Amino acid sequence: MTELKGVGVALVTPFQENGKVDFAGLEKLIRHVSAGVHFLVVMGTTGESVTLSEEEQMAVLDFILEINAGKLPVVFGIGGSDTRAVGERMRSFSKKDVAAFLTASPAYNKPTQEGIFRHYKHLSEVSPLPIILYNVPSRTGSNVLPETVFRIAAETTRIIGIKEAAGSIEQVMELAAGLPEDFLLLSGDDPLLVKHMACGGHGIISVVANAYPKRFRAIFETCVANDYDKAGKLHSQVIPLINDLFAEGNPGGIKETLRHLGICEHHMRLPLYPVSKDHSQKLYRHIAELGEQ
C-alpha cells in the first residue's frame, strides 16, 4: 500500500454552532489540506467519530469522496469495543474509492494481548478492505505491544500497517526492527515525525496537518531525502504550536487553530468543548509566528 505512505491528515469534522455538520467548512478544509497531504483519514478520533451517528459518519464520508473526486487515497475509521459489531460493519461496507480502514484497539474493556490479537484476526477475516491498526494507549487504556503487532503482521492477511501513537520512540524502533518491510509503520504522534522517520517509518497520520499540510509534507520529503538536519529545523518551527495544541484536548486545539486561520469554526459536540480564551490567544501567537501556512 505505497499510496498510504507519506503524510495523511486525521481530518476534523467541522460543526455549526447548532451541532450539525458544517459541510461548507468541511469542503474548505478538504481543499486546503489536499494541496499538501498524500492521503485523507476520515472519522478518526480527531474527527469526533464517537459523537456522530453511523448515518452522519457515512454522510461525511460521501461528501468527502465527492469533493476529493479520487485525487487522494481515503482511509475510513471504523472502531469500537465489540469485535463482532466492528466486524459486521466492516463486512457490510460497500463504498467505493476507500483504500483502507483505520481501527483502534478496543477501548474501555482493556483486553489482554491475546484478546487484541484475536480482535484483529477476526477483523482481517471479515473485512473487504485492508486495515491499519491504531495503537493509542492514552485513549484505549492498553498498549498493543510490539510482539503482538509482529504476530498480527505474520498471521493475518488484511492488516497492512499500524498507526503507532504510544508516544515512545523506543517502541517505534522495536517495531521498525521487527516488522516486514512492506508493513506500513505510520506515526500517530506529531512531535515524533522526524525521529519516527529516522527509525525507518513510512510517514504520519497527523492532526497538525489539518492546519499546515504543506509544512508537514516538506518535513516528510526532507526526511526521505535523508537530510535530517534540515528536517529537524523545519520540524522545530512547528514544535511550539504542537506542544500547546493538545494542552486542552484534541480536537479542541486544532479546531481553534483552524478558526484562527479562517478555515472552519471551533464548535464541538459535548462532552468536548472549545479551548479557553487564554489558550486560544496562545495558539494565535504561535500561528502569527509561523506566518504562511
Catalytic one among 120, 134, 255, 282? 134
69 Cβ contact list (under 8 Å, min separation 6): none
Catalytic one among 5, 120, 163, 195? 163
Pairwise CA distance, residues 266 & 251, whole Å:
9
Is 163 annotated as catalytic?
yes
- Whether residue 72 contacts residue 40, with contact meaning beta carbons closer than 8 Å, is answered with yes
Pairwise CA distance, residues 13 & 267, whole Å:
9
- Whether residue 162 contacts residue 134, with contact meaning beta carbons closer than 8 Å, is answered with yes
Pairwise CA distance, residues 49 & 250, whole Å:
12
Which three cell numbers mark 88? 459486521
Is 277 annotated as catalytic?
no
44 burial type by CB count under 10 A (0-12 exposed, 13-18 middle, 19+ buried): buried
Pairwise CA distance, residues 90 & 88, whole Å:
5
- Whether residue 146 contacts residue 174, with contact meaning beta carbons closer than 8 Å, is answered with yes
> Locate cell 517502541: which residue?
171
Nearest to 245 by CA among 230, 264, 214, 266: 266
Rg (CA), the chain: 18
Enzyme catalytic residues: 134, 163
